[in-house]
């Protein structure tokens, strides 16, 4: 099967309001897995860095960069006017060269370009939003910083696609509330690289205290402030927050300063460390160094951090939202807490840190769960079956 994957944001450098780093890795891994299954796969993204080649061969698939819009990382809202042009560029490529049998849009701006490209064809379109503006707005409230046109454009896009792919049960519900029929929504969770994320291997240095690790960008919606407040109830343990700008840039980062000030006010400044950005290929060593990984975002479509931690054999204490609620089996692979319940969060962390046998059991069960239900092979297989279904629907029935 010929598969075209469209992601408007480039992978090497992206604006702060673009899709999360996991989104671009998701697209690349899906492409590689599909290629390994024998499909012809091409990934399309916008060229936003001068000097990059127009095309590249990567892990069995082809990456093509469209010379559309500013040749620099650009805010998502500023990309919207270029998506029709991106779609025309795709349509021209497919008319003159290689035409996909199915197109899969990623993130809402990538989906807009894909929808423009197939508008006058019979090519079916599948869409993964990776996050939904309306759901982010509900959970983050004033902390939601997405462009105003995002929500209405996502609603329009949802009506233009053959199937929308949800990554968690909460997203399935949200898409149906947006007007999609349940038969037009497929649940396909993200995968985990179990060759990279596993219990055996090096661990980042640490002291004798118990370590709680939180991984995620430095923004109010990630819930780091809840963890800092909860540390008053945890006792003698350290909270390490990995994410945001590189360590050298933390001093000038507004949210990093706010979190440090909050730790001072809460009386836990000596227990909280911000280490800045950690390259994705080094994250496994940080997971293995932790006794518990805390996942407290107010919105999490895929739950990538919880899955990577579980793959490393580390129990997760997380808010029962989105992909975290699907991934973590309460009292089996970790503990789930009602979002915003700081007291229960602190008490749960304290009890789990004091329960060595419980953490050991949770960690073993977590590894089993990821390897059984969240491998990339399983994700690619589900997408392959979905593509076959939508292509089969569109193909005309031959006359007898």
pLDDT per residue over 342-395, tens digit each?
A: 999 999 999 999 999 999 999 999 999 999 999 999 999 999 999 999 999 876
d(CA 7, CA 14): 12
- Whether residue 186 contacts residue 165, with contact meaning beta carbons closer than 8 Å, is answered with yes
The pLDDT, as a whole number, for residue 189 is 95
Q: How confident is the model over 182-194, as a mean pLDDT?
A: 95
Distance between CA atoms of residues 202 and 284, nearest Å: 8
Contact 153, 108 (CB under 8 A): yes
Average pLDDT over residues 179-200: 95
Q: Residue 146 CA to chain centroid, in angstroms?
A: 16
Residues near 49 by Cβ (< 8 Å), separated by ≥ 6? 10, 12, 13, 71, 72, 73
Question: Against a cut of 0.85, is the pTM above it?
Answer: yes
CA distance 352 to 358: 7
Nearest one of 33, 65, 31 to 46, comparing CA atoms:
65
Q: What is the pLDDT of residue 396?
A: 54
Q: pLDDT tens digits for 24-74?
A: 789 999 999 999 999 999 999 998 888 889 999 999 999 999 998 887 767
Tokens of 209: 């205290």
Describe the crossing of helices 150-160 and 107-118 by its angle, rounded to 10 degrees: 40
**Is 103 within 8 Å of 114 (Cβ atoms)?**
yes
**pLDDT-based confidence at 12, cuts 50/70/90?**
very low
> What confidence category does residue 14 fall into, taking pLDDT thresholds of 50, 70 and 90?
very low
Topology of the domain covering 2-190+376-394: Rossmann fold (3.40.50)
Q: Is the pLDDT of residue 202 over 90?
A: yes
Angle subtended by helix axes 356-373 and 342-353, to nearest 10: 100
Nearest to 204 by CA among 303, 310, 279: 279
pLDDT of the residue at 242: 96
Residue 316 in contact with residue 292, Cβ under 8 Å? yes
Which residue reads 């304290």 in tokens? 350
Question: With 0-12 CB in 10 A as exposed, 13-18 as middle and 19+ as buried, what is 102?
Answer: buried
Nearest in space to 33 (alpha carbons), one of 387, 389, 377: 377
CATH topology of domain 210-373: Rossmann fold (3.40.50)
Domain ranges for the chain: 2-190+376-394, 210-373
């Amino acid at each position: 099967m010929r598969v075209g994957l469209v992601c408007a944001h480039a992978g090497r450098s992206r604006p702060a309001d673009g899709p999360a780093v996991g989104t671009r890795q998701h697209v690349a891994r899906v492409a590689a897995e599909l290629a390994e299954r024998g499909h012809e796969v091409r990934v399309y993204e916008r060229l936003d860095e001068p000097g990059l080649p127009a095309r590249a061969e990567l892990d069995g698939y082809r990456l093509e960069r469209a010379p559309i819009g500013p040749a620099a990382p650009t805010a998502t809202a500023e990309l919207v006017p270029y998506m029709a042009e991106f779609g025309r560029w795709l349509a021209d490529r497919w008319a003159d060269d290689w035409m996909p049998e199915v197109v899969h849009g990623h993130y809402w701006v990538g989906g807009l370009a894909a929808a423009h490209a197939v508008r006058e064809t019979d090519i079916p379109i599948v869409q993964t939003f990776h996050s939904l503006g309306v759901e982010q707005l509900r959970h983050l409230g004033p902390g939601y910083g997405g462009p105003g046109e995002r929500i209405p454009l996502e609603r329009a896009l949802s009506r233009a696609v053959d199937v929308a792919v949800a990554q968690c049960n909460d997203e399935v519900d949200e898409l149906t509330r947006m007007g999609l029929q349940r038969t037009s929504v497929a649940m396909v969770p993200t995968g985990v690289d179990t060759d990279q994320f596993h219990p055996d291997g090096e661990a980042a240095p640490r002291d004798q205290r118990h370590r709680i690790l939180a991984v995620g960008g430095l923004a109010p919606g990630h819930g780091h402030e809840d963890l800092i407040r909860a540390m008053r109830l945890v006792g003698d343990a350290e909270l390490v927050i990995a994410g945001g700008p590189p360590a050298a840039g933390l001093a000038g980062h507004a949210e990093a300063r706010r979190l440090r000030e909050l730790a001072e006010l809460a009386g836990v400044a000596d227990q909280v460390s911000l280490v800045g950005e950690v390259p994705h290929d080094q994250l496994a060593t940080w997971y293995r160094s932790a006794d518990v990984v805390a996942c407290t975002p107010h919105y999490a479509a895929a739950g990538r951090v919880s899955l990577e931690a579980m793959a490393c054999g580390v129990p997760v204490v997380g808010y029962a939202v989105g992909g975290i609620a699907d991934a973590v089996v309460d009292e089996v692979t970790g503990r789930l807490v009602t979002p915003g319940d700081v007291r229960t969060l602190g008490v749960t962390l304290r009890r789990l840190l004091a329960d060595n046998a419980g953490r050991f059991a949770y960690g073993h069960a977590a590894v089993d769960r990821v390897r059984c239900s969240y491998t990339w092979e399983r994700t690619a297989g589900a997408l392959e079956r979905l593509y076959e279904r939508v292509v089969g629907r569109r193909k005309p029935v031959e006359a007898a």
